[in-house]
Structure 1
């Protein structure tokens, strides 16, 4: 579920739609959280689909650490990519604002932590020489992403959290301890889907 202070807006013909803040969303706020309405599809189901349906599903899904395709039921599926994203995934099935997001600003993710099935070619962005997202980007950028998420968690208890009540029970104590500085945050590497391990298991 997306943060309630967001809305879908049309950007242009090249990009299509995006998700924008309607109010100030401070650093450390949960901007999205997995909920029970989000759909999960295993790879066998995905492969069984008509190619046209498979293509549409792939466009709007991400893959979790188990390789499941996750299709968000709300406007979360329209969050666009940026190499300078203001949101960051965590191993606890939610995303954080890693900097203050102002009214009218677009919420963005780096698709590098979404376990893409194939490279995603991007519009050029200033301040980076990256031009495409690769399925294994998380293995190369996790240290940078871990630091951003850890910094944002320092503000977790000091901002309003309208989505906090949707935390999965198994993560509540851990997230609480991290926010208090009592435990270290787990690496985003925990979100990585290892296709090599999957192949070995099948063979």
Structure 2
């Protein structure tokens, strides 16, 4: 489920739709959480689709560490990629804001965490030398991404969590340990799917 203080808007003709904050979403806030309405598909499901349906299916899903395809039931599927993402997917089944996201600002995520089937070229972004995203990015950049998430976890219990219902108690305990000991307890590297 996507954070309630968001809305779907057109970004531009090339990118299409995106998710935008309607109010301030502070650093440390859960922005998207896996819930029981999200659809989970086994890898073989993609092979059963005709080309007309397989293209949008691949566009709007991501793969978890078991290789399953996850399709968000709400407008969470329209969160776009950025090399300077303001949200990151955690190993706990939710995404977290790694900095304040202001009203009117687009929520973005790092697609290198999504076990993409195929790399894709991206728009150049100022301050980044990267021009494409692939599943290999997770292996290369996980220490940097872990550090951003750990920093966001330090604000986790100080901010309102509208998606609190979807945050497992065991995950909260692990986040508290990470903050108390100032160390990564569960790396995003655990999200990596090594299969095809």
* TM-score, shorter chain, exceeding 0.5: yes
C-alpha distance in 2 between matches for 1:184 and 1:145: 11
Tell me the equivalent position of 1:20: 20
Does the Cα contact within 8 Å between 2:146 and 2:184 map onto a contact in 1?
no
2:3 is paired with a residue whose SS is: coil
Q: Structure 1 stretches of 5 or more lacking a match?
A: 199-203
Tell me the equivalent position of 2:31: 31
Deviations 1:101-128 (CA, angstroms, capped at 9, x unpaired): 1000000011100000001110111101
C-alpha distance in 2 between matches for 1:192 and 1:153: 21
> CA 1:184 to 1:132, structure 2 compared with 1: closer, same or farther past 3 Å?
closer
| Alignment root-mean-square deviation, CA | 1.6
- Within a 5 Å distance, the mapping from 1:170-185 to structure 2 comes to 170-181=170-181, 184-185=184-185
Tell me the equivalent position of 1:139: 139
- Within a 5 Å distance, the mapping from 1:34-183 to structure 2 comes to 34-168=34-168, 170-181=170-181
Once structures 1 and 2 are overlaid, which stretch shifts more, 175-184 or 34-43?
175-184
Per the TM alignment, residue 181 of structure 1 is displaced from its structure 2 partner at its CA by 4.7
1:150 is paired with a residue whose SS is: helix
1:143 is paired with a residue whose SS is: helix
2:165 is paired with a residue whose SS is: helix
2:31 is paired with a residue whose SS is: strand
Q: How many residues align?
A: 196
Deviations 1:166-189 (CA, angstroms, capped at 9, x unpaired): 124553432344455587431000
